[in-house]
Structure 1
Amino acid sequence: MPTQAGEELIDRILAHPGDGDLVGPAANDLLSELYAGFPVENLTRLLHSGDDRILPTATWLLSEIPGMAAPLIGEVPALLASPIRGVRYDAIEVVLENAGERDGPVIAQVIGLSHDPESAVRWKVLEFLTEASIEQLQAGAASLPPGQLKELTEWLILQDGEDPDLPGVVIRLEEGDPVTRMFATAAAASLSSEGDVNLLMHAVMVEEEEIRAFAQERLSELRGDDSA
């Protein structure tokens, strides 16, 4: 039965936290069990193991089951605050794929990671800002305190309307601080379409590595460049 197999795989991961040769295959098999019906709530055994070597595996599993990890959304704030870069990175994906309108605080926490010291995490926040639904962004904005992030999130939401602020996107890309440029790049990516990549071209030239890489990736996708 999937439940028995899933429990055995969790036991294996818990018993060999530092052995990638064992944990990797076990995690992949556990992922299959989750898709086969193994209750996602059972992953709390990994999330609460108290072993930092286990936490990346647990968070990765949550990030790989889009829409199925919602019952554990309450576990995500601690993951977003983890000192482990990969945990924070994957936790952002968990929020993107599972958070709803009632999850404003955890969405706001993701937006707050736009100040994260790690470039990879900031890249993931930029992806979140680009891919999140308007409802998710609205929920996050409502939970943010007054200040720059709230103002930028509300501005980003407005770009989904009938009259986006195209000159404002360019100005923010060219003259804004790093966080402002991140939000402007999210707007540029959302507004770009086949044959109209001018906004993303501006983003490719900014100082921040993660923004340049993100913009270049989106440009390559729009142009159908398989080498990206």
Structure 2
Amino acid sequence: METQAGDALIERIRAHAADDDIVGPAANDLLGELYAGYPVENLSRLLHSDDEAVAGTGAWLLAELAEFAAPMMDEIPALLSHRNRIVRYYATAVVLENADERHGPVIAQVIALSQDLESAIRWKVLEFLTESSVEQLEAGASCLAPGQLRDLTEWLVLQEDEEPDTSGIITRLAASDPVTRLFAAAAAISLSGPDDLSLLEHAARAEDEEIRSFAGERLGELREHGAG
């Protein structure tokens, strides 16, 4: 039986040399095969690699597949704790696209990455907190241990479910604790829209550079959308 094109592409990626440019083209071709029906479960051969570039390529492919990555949700806990930040980054995107109330533990794991040492991961968690549904946040909160992260997640849910605590959001944006500031930014961004940019504008003026940058980018997008 002839080897499937997807199998051959996976082997090309697994066999790459550090200075090769083969991974990018092969990964793009493999993505096309996956969309054409090549089983997504075969990506485990990349995700379990000891080669960080190979594992990162596998995680990128999962993120690119969006909801088609759902059959691989059992792989995500290990990816979220992977030593490679690129793997953790893309695994977070997979959770946003595919997690529901059944995936409380993995959502809680993403929320805990708000304390990650890598700024790129904290940025991705801020995106998750901003774009996740109330149901996702509630599922994650229920699986967090009592303490700061659970309290902040439940507070964030309340901003969506009840009258927003505008003054509380603004106060938390200036808090000394970076995790508190991150959750406050998520509230400010998720509650902002073309008709009311006040909280987002406040976040875009925050002293915290990460929050200021993220909020500024969203503010530009909303203003451009409004102008269009």
TM-score by length of structure 2 reads 0.93
Evaluate the alpha carbon distance shift between residue 17 and residue 43 of structure 1 in structure 2; reply closer, same or farther with a 3 A threshold. farther
Greater mean alpha carbon deviation, residues 28-37 or residues 156-165: 156-165
3-state SS of 1:66 partner: helix
Greater mean alpha carbon deviation, residues 70-79 or residues 197-206: 197-206
Where structure 1 has 5 or more consecutive residues not aligned to the other structure, the ranges are: none
3-state SS of 1:124 partner: helix
Instruction: Note if contact 1:80-1:91 (Cα within 8 Å) is conserved in structure 2.
Output: yes
Instruction: Note if contact 2:185-2:211 (Cα within 8 Å) is conserved in structure 1.
Output: yes
Evaluate the alpha carbon distance shift between residue 208 and residue 6 of structure 1 in structure 2; reply closer, same or farther with a 3 A threshold. same
Percent identity, aligned pairs only?
Answer: 64
Q: Provide the residue aligned with 1:34 in structure 2.
A: 34
Q: Provide the residue aligned with 1:101 in structure 2.
A: 101
Greater mean alpha carbon deviation, residues 38-47 or residues 166-175: 166-175
Q: Provide the residue aligned with 1:147 in structure 2.
A: 147
Q: Provide the residue aligned with 1:119 in structure 2.
A: 119
RMSD: 1.8
Evaluate the alpha carbon distance shift between residue 20 and residue 64 of structure 1 in structure 2; reply closer, same or farther with a 3 A threshold. farther
Evaluate the alpha carbon distance shift between residue 47 and residue 140 of structure 1 in structure 2; reply closer, same or farther with a 3 A threshold. same
Instruction: Note if contact 1:126-1:182 (Cα within 8 Å) is conserved in structure 2.
Output: yes
Greater mean alpha carbon deviation, residues 137-146 or residues 76-85: 76-85
Q: Provide the residue aligned with 1:67 in structure 2.
A: 67
Instruction: Note if contact 1:17-1:53 (Cα within 8 Å) is conserved in structure 2.
Output: no
Q: Distance in 2 between matches of 1:136 and 1:84?
A: 25
CA shift for structure 1 position 201: 1.9
Q: Provide the residue aligned with 2:175 in structure 1.
A: 175
Does the alignment pair 1:220 with 2:220?
A: yes
Where structure 2 has 5 or more consecutive residues not aligned to the other structure, the ranges are: none
Q: Distance in 1 between matches of 2:105 and 2:42?
A: 24
Counterpart residue identity of residue 159, structure 1: Q
Q: Provide the residue aligned with 1:203 in structure 2.
A: 203
Instruction: Note if contact 2:174-2:207 (Cα within 8 Å) is conserved in structure 1.
Output: no
Instruction: Note if contact 2:47-2:56 (Cα within 8 Å) is conserved in structure 1.
Output: no
Q: Distance in 1 between matches of 2:26 and 2:36?
A: 15
The count of corresponding residues between Structure 1 and Structure 2 is: 225
3-state SS of 2:196 partner: coil
Q: Distance in 2 between matches of 1:11 and 1:43?
A: 11
CA shift for structure 1 position 176: 5.0
TM-score by length of structure 1 reads 0.93
